[in-house]
Structure 1
Amino acid sequence: MEIALRTEMHTYSGGLGVLAGDSARSAADLDLPMVFVTLVSRQGYVRQEIDARHAQVGHPDPWSPQDFATALPQMVAVSIEGRSVWVRPWLHALECPLGHVIPVLLLDTDLDQNAIEDRRITDALYGGDQAYRLKQEIVLGIGGQSVLRALGFSIEKYHLNEGHAALLTLPLLRATQQLDGGRAADPMLGYDIPGVRERCVFTTHTPVEAGFDKFDYDLVQRVLGDYVERDVLTRLAGSDRLNMTRLAMNLSGYVNGVARRHAETTRKLFPGYTIASITNGVHVHRWTHGAIARLFEQQFSNWAHEPEVLAFADQIDDGALWSAHEEAKSDLLARIAQTNRRQLRLDLPLIGYARRMTAYKRPELIFSDMGRLREIAKGQPFQIVLAGLAHPSDGGGQEAIRALGAHIDALDGVIPAAFIPGYNLDIGAALVAGCDVWLNTPQPPLEASGTSGMKAAINGALNLSVLDGWWVEGCVDGVTGWSIAGNGAEASDAGALYQKLRDVVLPLYHSDRGRWIWMMKQAISKIGPSFNSHRMMRRYVTEAYLR
Structure 2
Amino acid sequence: MQWRATKPMTSNETNTPLPTAAYFSMEIALDPAMPTYSGGLGVLAGDTLRAAADMSVRMIAVTLLHRQGYLSQTIDAEGWQHEQPVDWNIEEHCRELPQRAEVEIEGRTVHVRAWQYDVVGCEGYRLPVLLLDTDLDENADTDRALTQQLYGGDSRHRLSQEVVLGIGGVRILRSLRIDSLVQFHMNEGHAALLVLELLDERAKSLGREMFNSEDVQAVRKQCVFTTHTPVPAGHDRFGFDLVEQVLGRSDLFDMHEVFCCAGELNMTYLALNLSHYVNGVAKKHGEVSRHMLVPKDTNHHYAIDHITNGVHVATWASPSFSELFDRFLPGWREDNASLRGALAMPPNEVWQAHRAAKLRLIDEINATQDDLFDPLTFTIGFARRATAYKRANLLISDPERLHRIVEKHGPIQIVFAGKAHPHDVEGKHLIQQIVRAKNQLHPAVKLVYLENYDWELARLIVSGVDVWLNTPQPPLEASGTSGMKAAINGVPSLSILDGWWIEGCVEGTTGWAFGNAASTNPANVDRFKEDADALYDKLEQVIVPLYYTKPDQWLRIMSHAIALNGSYFNTQRMVQQYVVKAYYET
TM-score normalized by structure 2? 0.91
Is residue 153 of structure 2 the alignment partner of residue 95 of structure 1? Answer: no
**What are the within-5 Å matches in structure 2 for residues 352-363 of structure 1?**
352-363=381-392
Q: Offset at 1:111?
A: 0.3
**What are the within-5 Å matches in structure 2 for residues 186-225 of structure 1?**
189=212, 191-225=214-248
Distance (whole Å) between structure 2 residues aligned to residue 181 and residue 196 of structure 1: 16
Is residue 354 of structure 2 the alignment partner of residue 325 of structure 1? Answer: yes
Q: Offset at 1:98?
A: 1.1
Q: Is the Cα–Cα contact under 8 Å of residues 214 and 243 in structure 1 kept in the other structure?
A: yes
Q: Is the Cα–Cα contact under 8 Å of residues 326 and 332 in structure 2 kept in the other structure?
A: yes
* Correspondence for 1:74 among 99, 103, 107: 99
Q: Offset at 1:97?
A: 3.0
Q: Is the Cα–Cα contact under 8 Å of residues 365 and 441 in structure 1 kept in the other structure?
A: yes
Distance (whole Å) between structure 2 residues aligned to residue 179 and residue 157 of structure 1: 19
Distance (whole Å) between structure 2 residues aligned to residue 277 and residue 240 of structure 1: 30
Q: Is the Cα–Cα contact under 8 Å of residues 309 and 569 in structure 2 kept in the other structure?
A: yes
What residue number does 1:469 align with? Answer: 499
Q: Offset at 1:191?
A: 4.8
Distance (whole Å) between structure 2 residues aligned to residue 409 and residue 475 of structure 1: 34
What residue number does 2:547 align with? Answer: 509
**What are the within-5 Å matches in structure 2 for residues 17-56 of structure 1?**
17-56=42-81
Q: Is the Cα–Cα contact under 8 Å of residues 70 and 91 in structure 1 kept in the other structure?
A: yes
Q: Offset at 1:188?
A: 7.0
Q: Offset at 1:230?
A: 2.4
- SS of the residue corresponding to residue 553 of structure 2 reads helix
Letter in 2 for 1:273: Y
Distance (whole Å) between structure 1 residues aligned to residue 148 and residue 250 of structure 2: 24
Is residue 368 of structure 2 the alignment partner of residue 339 of structure 1? Answer: yes
Distance (whole Å) between structure 2 residues aligned to residue 401 and residue 89 of structure 1: 37
Q: Deviations over 1:142-196 (max 9, x none)?
A: 000100111122311000000000000001111232799999xxx8746511100
Is residue 516 of structure 2 the alignment partner of residue 493 of structure 1? Answer: no
Distance (whole Å) between structure 2 residues aligned to residue 455 and residue 369 of structure 1: 28
- SS of the residue corresponding to residue 493 of structure 2 reads strand
Question: Larger % of helix: which?
Answer: 1
**What are the within-5 Å matches in structure 2 for residues 133-282 of structure 1?**
133-153=158-178, 154-177=180-203, 189=212, 191-226=214-249, 228-232=251-255, 236-271=259-294, 272-282=301-311
* Correspondence for 1:58 among 72, 80, 83: 83
Q: Offset at 1:19?
A: 0.2
- SS of the residue corresponding to residue 73 of structure 1 reads strand
Q: Is the Cα–Cα contact under 8 Å of residues 479 and 519 in structure 1 kept in the other structure?
A: yes
Distance (whole Å) between structure 2 residues aligned to residue 340 and residue 103 of structure 1: 41
Letter in 2 for 1:40: L
Q: Deviations over 1:408-464 (max 9, x none)?
A: 122121101111101110000000000100000000000000000000011000100
Distance 1:497 1:79, change over 3 A: same
* Correspondence for 1:370 among 393, 399, 415: 399
Distance 1:190 1:253, change over 3 A: closer
Distance 1:483 1:189, change over 3 A: same
Q: Is the Cα–Cα contact under 8 Å of residues 237 and 244 in structure 1 kept in the other structure?
A: no
What residue number does 1:84 align with? Answer: 109
Distance 1:35 1:178, change over 3 A: closer
Distance 1:537 1:63, change over 3 A: same
Q: Offset at 1:303?
A: 0.6
Q: Is the Cα–Cα contact under 8 Å of residues 216 and 257 in structure 2 kept in the other structure?
A: no
What residue number does 1:416 align with? Answer: 446
Q: Is the Cα–Cα contact under 8 Å of residues 309 and 529 in structure 1 kept in the other structure?
A: yes
Q: Deviations over 1:285-306 (max 9, x none)?
A: 1000111111111112111110
Distance (whole Å) between structure 1 residues aligned to residue 356 and residue 288 of structure 2: 40
- SS of the residue corresponding to residue 127 of structure 2 reads strand
Q: Is the Cα–Cα contact under 8 Å of residues 195 and 219 in structure 2 kept in the other structure?
A: yes
What residue number does 2:315 align with? Answer: 286
Distance 1:404 1:177, change over 3 A: same
Q: Offset at 1:387?
A: 0.4
Distance 1:300 1:6, change over 3 A: same
What residue number does 2:486 align with? Answer: 456
How many residue pairs were aligned?
544
Q: What's the RMSD between the two structures over aligned residues?
A: 1.7
Q: Is the Cα–Cα contact under 8 Å of residues 258 and 273 in structure 2 kept in the other structure?
A: no
Q: Is the Cα–Cα contact under 8 Å of residues 258 and 274 in structure 2 kept in the other structure?
A: no
TM-score normalized by structure 1? 0.97
Q: Offset at 1:240?
A: 2.3
* Correspondence for 1:125 among 150, 153, 162: 150
Distance 1:498 1:362, change over 3 A: same
Q: Offset at 1:270?
A: 2.6
* Correspondence for 1:529 among 567, 572, 580: 567
Q: Is the Cα–Cα contact under 8 Å of residues 311 and 485 in structure 2 kept in the other structure?
A: yes
Distance (whole Å) between structure 2 residues aligned to residue 217 and residue 539 of structure 1: 37
Q: Is the Cα–Cα contact under 8 Å of residues 310 and 569 in structure 2 kept in the other structure?
A: yes
Distance (whole Å) between structure 1 residues aligned to residue 251 and residue 352 of structure 2: 61
Distance 1:190 1:273, change over 3 A: closer
Q: Offset at 1:64?
A: 2.1
Q: Deviations over 1:80-99 (max 9, x none)?
A: 01000001000011112311
Is residue 580 of structure 2 the alignment partner of residue 542 of structure 1? Answer: yes
Unaligned stretches of 5+ residues in structure 2: 1-25, 295-300, 521-526
- SS of the residue corresponding to residue 353 of structure 1 reads strand
What residue number does 1:385 align with? Answer: 415
Distance (whole Å) between structure 2 residues aligned to residue 233 and residue 151 of structure 1: 33
Q: Is the Cα–Cα contact under 8 Å of residues 257 and 263 in structure 1 kept in the other structure?
A: yes
Q: Is the Cα–Cα contact under 8 Å of residues 122 and 333 in structure 2 kept in the other structure?
A: no
